[in-house]
């Protein structure tokens, strides 16, 4: 088996409806998906943590035997979201193969600890979604709680974050956070949930491809026989046939290169190293100028932070950034970091005896 085939065979596909709505819907979707994609786990939400109590909150206990029957009739492994110790106990009684922790639950350490204690001594795969808010330490903390009770078969799911400016997404990807998670924990599988990132089925393929390009190890996606009639999250669900089409259209990536490509990549990396050295040297020189400015401001008895000058910098650099094909997000973060360091440098001169 070559590397590409190995990557495809190890890729995790979790698919199924947002909510288990009826026995017929659950079994039909499981059957259709199992015939169309290499399904690792069949998912369906039984208990839905909704913002409003007037929304459909799932069928709960009534749906447990539906999932068990889907497993028996199709041979698929089954998984659902748990938010309490009671959910855990019920799922174990009905032979669920894996469980996932939802974003709202990950946000609450007390809930995570309760679930972890309920699973102490149980050997079952656990998938942990990132918290709603962009807090990497909170995500990591959830893993630590499960690890402390002895669970080792743990995976992460990136489902995006709730932030003020998130359009066109339902939850902004903020790819730097899952990348940092993978950097710190390279041995923990990291999946992507494009359904909850997008909130819109038209964006699913692009987000899924981006996840694969970044080296993620699987996809969790919502699928319904009749998406527009779904009782929850209708806009982000697709049919099993559409899941199959999307899966076939995705391009998987390897980690190795041909010898010719490796040589070309090394040349490009050498250029990046040289440019980074120049940038760091220039940043050092810029901070030296900032210190000179601090000394002059101290001598003249004026404040460090000059609002009009800061506005001038932002306006002029924005134009420079556009001409250099830099994104507004990157340029804003860069200028903010430079400005903070410049203020720190000037403040150091001001307070020096």
CB 37 within 8 A of CB 13: yes
pLDDT at 353 over 80: no
The whole-number average pLDDT for the span 15-19 is 97
Average pLDDT along the chain: 94
Helices (H) and strands (E) in the chain, counts: 14, 8
Chain-centre distance for alpha carbon 291: 40
183 to each of 90, 189, 228, 265, how far by Cα in Å?
A: 35, 12, 38, 21
User: Strand pairing partners for 221?
Assistant: 15
CATH no., domain 260-350 = 1.20.59.10
> Model-level pTM?
0.84
- Strand ranges inside 146-278, DSSP E: 154-158, 190-192, 218-222
3-state secondary structure (DSSP) of residue 251: coil
Model confidence over 221-277: pLDDT tens digits? Answer: 999 999 999 999 999 999 999 999 999 999 998 877 777 888 888 899 999 999 999
Instruction: Quote the pLDDT of residue 96.
Output: 98
Instruction: Give Cβ neighbours of residue 146 (< 8 Å, ≥ 6 apart).
Output: 112, 116, 119, 126, 128, 154
Model confidence over 156-187: pLDDT tens digits? Answer: 999 999 998 888 999 999 999 999 999 999 99
Q: How many CB atoms lie within 10 A of CB 338?
A: 16
User: Strand pairing partners for 192?
Assistant: 158, 219
Model confidence over 57-68: pLDDT tens digits? Answer: 889 999 999 999
* Domain spans, the chain: 3-249, 260-350
The domain 3-249 is placed in CATH, from the list 3.40.50.2300, 3.20.20.70, 3.40.190.10, 3.40.50.1980, at: 3.20.20.70
CB 128 within 8 A of CB 185: no
């Amino acid at each position: 088996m070559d590397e590409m085939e190995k990557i495809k065979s190890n890729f995790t596909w979790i698919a199924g409806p947002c909510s288990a709505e009826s026995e017929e819907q659950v079994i039909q979707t499981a059957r259709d998906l199992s015939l169309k994609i290499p399904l690792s786990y069949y998912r369906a939400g039984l208990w839905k943590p909704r913002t409003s109590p007037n929304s459909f909150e799932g069928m709960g206990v009534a749906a447990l035997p539906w999932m068990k029957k889907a497993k028996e009739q199709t041979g698929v492994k089954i998984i659902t979201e748990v938010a309490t110790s009671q959910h855990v106990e019920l799922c174990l009684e009905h032979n669920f193969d894996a469980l996932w922790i939802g974003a709202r639950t990950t946000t609450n350490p007390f809930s995570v600890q309760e679930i972890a204690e309920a699973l102490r001594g149980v050997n079952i795969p656990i998938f942990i979604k990132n918290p709603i808010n962009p807090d990497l330490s909170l995500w990591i903390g959830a893993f630590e709680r499960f690890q402390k009770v002895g669970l080792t078969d743990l995976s992460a799911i990136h489902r995006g974050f709730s932030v003020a400016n998130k359009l066109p997404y339902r939850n902004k990807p903020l790819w730097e956070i899952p990348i940092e998670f993978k950097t710190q924990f390279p041995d923990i599988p990291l999946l992507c949930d494009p359904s909850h990132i997008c909130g819109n089925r038209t964006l699913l393929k692009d987000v899924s491809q981006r996840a694969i390009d970044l080296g993620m190890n699987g996809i969790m996606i919502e699928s319904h026989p009749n998406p527009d009639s779904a009782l929850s999250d209708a806009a982000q669900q697709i049919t099993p046939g559409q899941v199959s089409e999307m899966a076939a259209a995705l391009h998987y990536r390897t980690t190795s290169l041909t010898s010719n490509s490796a040589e070309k990549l090394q040349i490009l990396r050498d250029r990046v190293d040289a440019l980074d050295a120049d940038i760091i040297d220039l940043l050092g020189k810029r901070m030296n100028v900032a210190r000179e400015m601090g000394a002059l401001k101290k001598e003249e008895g004026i404040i460090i932070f000059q609002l009009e000058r800061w506005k001038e910098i932002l306006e002029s650099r924005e134009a420079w950034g556009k001409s250099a094909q830099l994104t507004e997000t990157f340029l804003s973060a860069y200028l903010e970091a430079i400005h903070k360091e410049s203020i720190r440098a000037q403040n150091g001169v001001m307070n020096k005896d």
